[in-house]
């Protein structure tokens, strides 16, 4: 065997897990169907916030662990893609959030007159906002600097990886629906619009977890990311122009200057939601190996990546 661990999947969950394992001294390979910047993770708006993820108790702890790491990475935003940015979560009441919220520095309830747009409640926060194409490329570089090997490879089953490493880590996201197979996985379609930034410096969200339409905008370098949708069960990957126009209109209700911003492009991604929430579980493989399942992160893979990677690494062992 030429590896201790093979991580299948090159999105943010797979790469973060691979970094964590490689920096513990293990020989790690990543097998990814796509380049890192072509994964579903690259589409994410990527504001740190526990959104559409279960189980809630563990997710809060994983999110806080990740928040601490992102806080460190934000010291070098040009390389890591992580920045601290202020903004508002509308339609959100602090007392309705989980215990994790009490540990987020500076999170505060706003007075109604402080909430922008047609909203009566909201929270102010300064949170990590991640430029995903930059961050994913940086993660790959950190992984390779730790001795890891990244390979483009389409996987149709885990047996091939199990023949090459004593532990296989399944970070295949929605792909686990067929590979495992796990019928509990459900795509949640997200559509975004990229526009020239007309001067917006703070992020904004109004994202009811049960709603099919959301409203948010994130100022990223060279663009403003507008969203969005949360269409359960939809696997349509082409951008719908009617949906795009509605996204722009909703965002312009909060910041009117967005209505005239030049459109740069459209993005669509399928969030890997799962009935029962995130699965991080080790199962035996024939021949004495181990398969660690690590998928089902819904809309919060970025938010919990580092905390979940630590838990997966515990199951991998030394």
Judge whether 302 is annotated as a binding position. Answer: yes
By the 8 A CB rule, do 292 and 282 touch?
Answer: yes
Q: Determine if residue 155 is labeled as part of a ligand binding site.
A: yes
> 298 a known binding residue?
yes
Q: Is the peptide bond before 125 cis (omega within 30 degrees of 0)?
A: no
Q: Is 41 annotated as a binding residue?
A: yes
Instruction: Please give the C-alpha separations between residue 281 and each of 171, 210, 290, in angstroms, as whole numbers.
Output: 12, 27, 10
Preceding peptide of 55 cis, ω within 30°: yes
> What does DSSP assign to residue 193?
E
As a whole number of angstroms, the distance between CA 157 and CA 56 comes to 30
CA 90 from centroid of its chain's CA atoms: 21
61 marked as binding residue: no
Query: Is residue 10 annotated as involved in ligand binding?
Result: no
Residue 227 pairs with which residues in a beta bridge? 192, 216
The answer to whether the annotation marks 216 as part of a ligand binding site is yes
The reply, when asked if residue 51 is annotated as ligand binding, is no
| Max intra-chain CA distance, the chain | 64
8 A C-beta contact, residue 30 and residue 18: yes
40 annotated to a ligand binding site:
yes
SS3 content of the chain, % helix, strand, coil (to 5): 35, 30, 35
Residue 12 marked in a binding site: no
The annotated binding site for FAD is made up of 40-41, 155, 172, 298-303
The annotated binding site is made up of 40-41, 155, 172, 216, 271, 298-303
The annotated binding site for D-dopa is made up of 216, 271, 299
């Amino acid at each position: 065997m030429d590896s201790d661990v093979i991580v299948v999947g090159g999105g943010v969950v797979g790469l973060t897990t691979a970094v964590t394992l490689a920096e513990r001294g293990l020989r790690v390979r990543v097998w990814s169907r796509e380049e890192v910047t072509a994964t579903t993770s690259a589409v994410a708006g990527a504001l740190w916030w526990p959104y559409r993820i279960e189980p809630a108790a563990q997710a809060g702890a994983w999110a806080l662990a990740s928040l601490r790491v992102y806080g460190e990475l934000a010291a070098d935003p040009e390389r890591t893609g992580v920045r601290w940015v202020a903004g508002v979560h509308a339609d959100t009441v602090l007392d309705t959030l989980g215990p994790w919220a009490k540990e987020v520095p500076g999170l505060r309830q706003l007075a109604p007159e402080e909430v922008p747009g047609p909203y009566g409640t909201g929270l102010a926060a300064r949170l990590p906002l991640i430029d995903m194409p930059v961050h994913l490329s940086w993660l790959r570089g950190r992984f390779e600097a730790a001795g890891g090997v990244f390979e483009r490879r389409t996987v149709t089953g885990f047996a091939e990886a199990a023949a090459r490493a004593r532990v296989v880590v399944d970070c295949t996201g929605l792909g686990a629906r067929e590979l495992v197979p796990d019928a509990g996985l459900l795509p949640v379609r997200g559509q975004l619009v990229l526009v020239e930034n007309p001067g917006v410096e703070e992020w904004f969200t109004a994202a009811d977890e049960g709603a099919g339409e959301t409203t948010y905008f994130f100022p990223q370098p060279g663009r403003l990311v507008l969203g969005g949708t949360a269409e359960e069960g939809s696997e349509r990957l082409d951008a719908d122009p009617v949906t795009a126009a509605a996204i722009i209109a909703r965002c312009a209700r909060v910041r009117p200057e967005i209505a005239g911003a030049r459109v740069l492009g459209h993005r669509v991604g399928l969030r890997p939601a799962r009935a029962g929430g995130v699965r991080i579980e080790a199962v035996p493989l024939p021949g004495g190996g181990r398969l660690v399942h690590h998928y089902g992160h819904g809309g919060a893979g970025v938010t919990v990546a580092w905390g979940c990677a630590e838990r997966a690494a515990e199951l991998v062992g030394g």
